[in-house]
Amino acid sequence: MAVQSVESSTTSVALGPATALSCRECGERFDLGPIFACAACFGPLEVAYDLPTGDPEALRRRIEAGPDNIWRYAPLLPVPADVADKPGLNPGFTKLVKADNLARELGVTGGLYVKDDSGNPTHSFKDRVVAIAVEAARAFGFTTLSCSSTGNLAGAVGAAAARAGFKSCVFIPHDLEAGKVVMAAVYGGDLVGIEGTYDDVNRFCSELIGDPLGEGWGFVNVNLRPYYGEGSKTLAYEICEQLGWRLPDQLVIPIASGSQLTKIDKGLKELIALGLVEDRPYRIFGAQAEGCSPVSRAFKDGHGVVRPVKPDTIAKSLAIGNPADGPYVLDIARRTGGAVEDVDDAEIVDAIRLLARTEGIFAETAGGVTVGVTRKLLEQGVLDPSLTTVVLNTGDGLKTLDAVTAGPSAVIRPSLEAFRAAGL
């Protein structure tokens, strides 16, 4: 099979501190390569490391002296040491906004922050995960970058491929928002709309990997998924560094496949293990849209497995009906004393407006989901308002303009008289 021939020629790749892939279910280890499922038990694989234990002060200084992007954390990522010198989009180190106005409105007294990932190069958190997958694709000799996407990933892959010198061919459900479609197509690679849901797109990509048509292709969220996932750890690193090398007490994180949430937890645990932050408890809360809430449903029902659903929500970037990391999300929410909750489309729009009105941040629908869930969990007394809380905004409202109706307060002739008559 095509993929195996790529794999066998790349058994001794150098990806920084990464040493192997290990199975999250049975612990079996494999050489670094473009594989994503355990050959023994089919469990998902993740990157194992030889991390720089030793003097935490020295490591902290080294990170702080690094570039203002995710590559400052290169010693903790599966990337070559000279990664910052390669052509890439260099995402990350986005703003951690102290959201005092929103805190006042929601009654949070312990400090409320919005980690605003709309500031990334293609305006979503996906630039982080793609940047790591690109390094793996280089190491394994792939020439085309691909993905199955709910929208943001397609744009992030298209842009990264253009800059890093790969061809690209990305796959999306055919009915996405115009802003996402344009962003996915403008960088010059191929964009293919699939007649079906994201879950159909993903299944199609899995077939393509096993076919000669997909030879030489790195699918960032399929055969490069173990590396891709590691990019989300940088959110954990940045949040803690921006809080002054301190863990937040509570985090509210959106769930599509659940990869981001599980890897933020992994990143926090690494910071504790490395002595970069003090070991204190933190709680992780997952946020879904009611129209696609299989993980929230399972959490509330006390189940350990997630029953797939057919998505129907304006939060299309989170519309994964069969989330691969769902069971791990449930484990993390329960282990840390968190929860998983959902909000409906009207609450999502309301929350987008609330964040815009209070903090001047225009979030995409996924940001409406996290802010809406934060509000709901506070009302339920599940989130503790006296604790430091970080809410993620993972994308830019300009890509989901149709979700909100907003327009001029008045349209008038250019005269003082007309303006006075408008009564604003």
Residues at the site binding ligand PLP, with contacts judged by CB under 6 A: 124-126, 152, 254-260, 317-318, 364, 366, 394-395
Minimal distance, residue 368 CB to ligand PLP, in Å:
10
Sign of CA dihedral 355, 297, 388, 319: negative
If the CB atoms of residues 317 and 388 are measured against ligand PLP, the closer one turns out to be 317
- Residue count of the chain: 424
Closest residue by Cα to residue 123 from 409, 417, 422, 395:
395
If the CB atoms of residues 114 and 276 are measured against ligand PLP, the closer one turns out to be 114
If the CB atoms of residues 240 and 319 are measured against ligand PLP, the closer one turns out to be 319
Strands 144-148 and 167-173: parallel
How many Å apart are CA 394 and CA 366, to the nearest integer?
7
Minimal distance, residue 258 CB to ligand PLP, in Å:
5
Minimal distance, residue 123 CB to ligand PLP, in Å:
9
User: Contact at 8 Å (CB) between 145 and 190?
Assistant: no
Minimal distance, residue 125 CB to ligand PLP, in Å:
6
How many Å apart are CA 119 and CA 343, to the nearest integer?
25
Minimal distance, residue 364 CB to ligand PLP, in Å:
6
* Distances from the Cα of 292 to the Cα of 194, 330, 331, angstroms: 19, 16, 19
Minimal distance, residue 276 CB to ligand PLP, in Å:
23
Q: Which residue has the tokens 């979503």?
A: 124
The burial class, CB within 10 Å (0-12 / 13-18 / 19+), for 31 is: middle
If the CB atoms of residues 259 and 389 are measured against ligand PLP, the closer one turns out to be 259
- C-alpha R_g of the chain: 21
If the CB atoms of residues 254 and 291 are measured against ligand PLP, the closer one turns out to be 254
If the CB atoms of residues 250 and 288 are measured against ligand PLP, the closer one turns out to be 288
Beta bridge partners of 193: 172
If the CB atoms of residues 59 and 375 are measured against ligand PLP, the closer one turns out to be 375
How many Å apart are CA 401 and CA 409, to the nearest integer?
18
Minimal distance, residue 154 CB to ligand PLP, in Å:
10
